[in-house]
């Protein structure tokens, strides 16, 4: 397991399902896609709509594209 990132701040949180663990199973607020006081992720940083997250339960680190705001588009070649 990785340690919690030293830049992690409990004041910067995100409510996104962790792709590595299933800790939210059976949680009513999470099932209803509401903010839960127990099941949040550290928001380590972001670039536009791309979030860099860490799960405090399993310490998994990953990127999550929200699709909101200034999204990151791949450059498309002309046909």
Reported as a single tens digit per residue, the pLDDT across 3-20 is: 999 989 999 999 988 999
Higher pLDDT, 5 or 77: 5
- For 39, which DSSP code? S
CA nearest 46: which of 4, 2, 22, 16?
16
H/E segment holding residue 42: strand 41-47
Which residues, at least 6 apart from 53, have a Cβ–Cβ distance to it below 8 Å? 14, 16, 41, 42, 43, 44, 61, 62, 63, 64
The two tokens of residue 54 are 């860490």
Q: What's the mean pLDDT in 21-39?
A: 88
Whether residue 34 is predicted with pLDDT greater than 80 in this model: the reply is yes
For all residues of the chain together, what is the average pLDDT? 86
The per-residue pLDDT for 72 is 53
């Amino acid at each position: 397991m990785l340690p919690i990132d030293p830049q992690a701040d409990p004041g910067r949180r995100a409510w996104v399902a962790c792709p590595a663990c299933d800790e939210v199973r059976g949680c009513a607020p999470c099932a209803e896609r509401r903010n839960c006081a127990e099941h949040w992720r550290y928001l380590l940083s972001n670039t536009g709509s791309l979030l860099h997250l860490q799960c405090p339960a399993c310490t998994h680190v990953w990127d999550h594209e929200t699709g909101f705001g200034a999204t990151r588009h791949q450059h498309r070649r002309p046909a």
